[in-house]
Every structure is written in C-alpha cells, then in structure tokens.
Amino acid sequence: MKRIFLMGAVAAMLFASCGESVDSKAGKLLQQAGEAYAAGDYRSSKLLIESIRGTYPTAFEARRGALNLMRDVELAEQQRNLDHCKAVLDTLAARRDSMLADFEYEKDNRYQDEGSYVCSSQAGRLNVFNSLLRARTTESGRAYVTSVYRGKRISHRAVKVSAGDSYASCDKPFSSHIYRNLGVNNERLDFIYGEDGGIMDFVAAATQPITVELTGGDGTYSYTLRREDAVAVTKVMELSRVLRAITEHREMAAEAQRHIDFVKKTRERFAADSVSVGK
C-alpha cells in the first residue's frame, strides 16, 4: 500500500509539472529522495531514485546525483542491518553463556574442526557402563542424539522411544560403531536432529516415563530412559537453537559488512575517476 501511494504521488507530481524542464522535474524527485533518505525511509528513497532513472534518462546531473544518493542509501541500510545483527548477537551470546554452566565442551583436535557441547550429566566419565540416549550440539548449533548401548551384542540399527500409546522411531542412523571397551561390548548409533524420526522432539515433549527399545540383527534390548537424560536432550535442543541463531546472525553480519565494503570501494573509485576527468 505504501508503494502504491508513493508511486501515485510521483505520478501526480509529474503530471502537475508537465510544463517544467526535464532537469527541473528530475531535480525535484532527487530532492524528495534525499529527504526520504534523511528521514531513514530508505525504501521510499530507493523508489524515487528508480523513478529518476526510468523516467528521465537525459537528466544527467540528476541521474548522477541519484547514483551517489543510492550508494548512501545502500550504505545506511547495510549499516542498520549490521548494527541490528550485532545487537542481536550480544543478546544471544549472553543467553548462550548463561546456559553453558550445565555443559561440558568436547573436541578432538585430531579429527574435528569444531567442538560439541554435552550436558555435564552425560559426560563420558560418568556413563562408562550405562546405556543411554546421549545428546550433543556442535558450536554452530547442529544437534545430534546418540543411542549408546552396552551389553551383550545385539547389533542394533533402530531406536524407538515410547510413552503410553505415543512413540517415535528411526532406523536410518548416519553413522554406527561397534567396539569393545574394558571388556564390554559397545554399540553407538548417531542420528542428526531433523533426520532422527522425531526422537529428540519426542523426548523433549514427553511428560511420562519414556521406554527406549533397541532393535538389531542379533537381538533387542529395552530400558527406561533416565530423567536426567531426558532433561539433557531438552537442554541440548534449547542450546542448539541459540547457537544456530548465533551462526545465522554472524553470517548476516558478515554479508552486511561485505556489502558495506563493496559500496565504499565503489564510491571511492567513482570519486577518483571524477577527479581524473576534472583534470
């Protein structure tokens, strides 16, 4: 609606000034575009600049001024975006830091480019012989859940979580490992959030005790999920959302800065060329 009103106003002004010269008409539009820019109405300023470009191809002075003004508008827009991203990042970082008290950081520098956050209650040293659903999130916010089974070999390939008549299950892990540790058989299935059949969402939302059922080629095994493990999944998902938002806003801030740098370089190059021509 605002765009329609603005274009209507432009059309009315053009009609009313049909007796004026092209340069005068274009100059008035440029003045209006400058006023919109000064008021922080960058969208209207851009529309008025586009009107000059499209309607007055021979108004060279106004078009040159419009080009300079467009660079100013783009710089102001991107700076506003950058400032907004930085403010949001400060808020998100504070929220992340307040949550990390419940987590431990894990990273193997030999194999991993980024580390992961795991709830302290699910630290490996505390769960040497436990079967559990172990949740983690990378620094960039990608969440995973790992089905850890310790006991007689069952070669499990599917995980089902249920509470009452409701359940979620997945039989498509993105990685699996079977090994022995301290004389005990260990099996691990890794699922990434969003491709886990809804297991993590189910655990986070459940209000009843959860049964975990593992199915494999050599047998099955079921157990009741510990309350602290269900809480850990919920906390990991919450932290994952914050970390993803941080990653997204960092990318947005970087894009805004790249745009600012490009426009500044373009403006400097244009100014240098103008000086050369003037000489």
Tokens of 40: 């922080």
Task: Give the residue from 127, 118, 191 showing the smallest Cα distance to 160.
Answer: 191
Buried-exposed string 148-175: b where 16+ CB fall within 10 A, e elsewhere? bbbeeebebbbbbbbbeeebbbbeebee
| pLDDT computed for residue 277 by the predictor | 46
Contact 20, 56 (CB under 8 A): no
Q: How many CB atoms lie within 10 A of CB 186?
A: 18
Residue type, 107: K
The pLDDT profile of the chain, 279 residues, written as one tens digit per residue, is 555 545 555 555 554 445 578 889 999 999 999 999 999 999 999 999 999 988 999 999 999 999 999 999 999 999 999 999 999 999 999 999 999 999 999 998 888 889 999 999 999 888 888 999 999 999 999 999 999 999 999 999 999 999 999 999 999 999 999 988 878 899 999 999 999 999 999 999 999 999 999 999 999 999 999 999 999 999 999 999 999 999 999 999 999 999 999 999 988 887 665 545 455
Contact 181, 148 (CB under 8 A): no
**Helix and strand counts by DSSP (H, E) for the chain:** 6, 10
Cα atoms in the 13 Å half-sphere on the side-chain side of 233: 27
Confidence (pTM): 0.81
Rounded to 5, what percent of the chain is helix, strand, coil?
55, 25, 20
Where in the chain does DSSP place strands (E)?
103-106, 116-119, 132-138, 143-150, 156-163, 166-170, 175-181, 184-192, 211-216, 219-224
Cα–Cα distances (Å) from 279 to 11, 60, 67, 269, 274, in that order, read 40, 20, 22, 16, 9
What are φ and ψ of residue 89, in 5° steps?
A: -60, -40
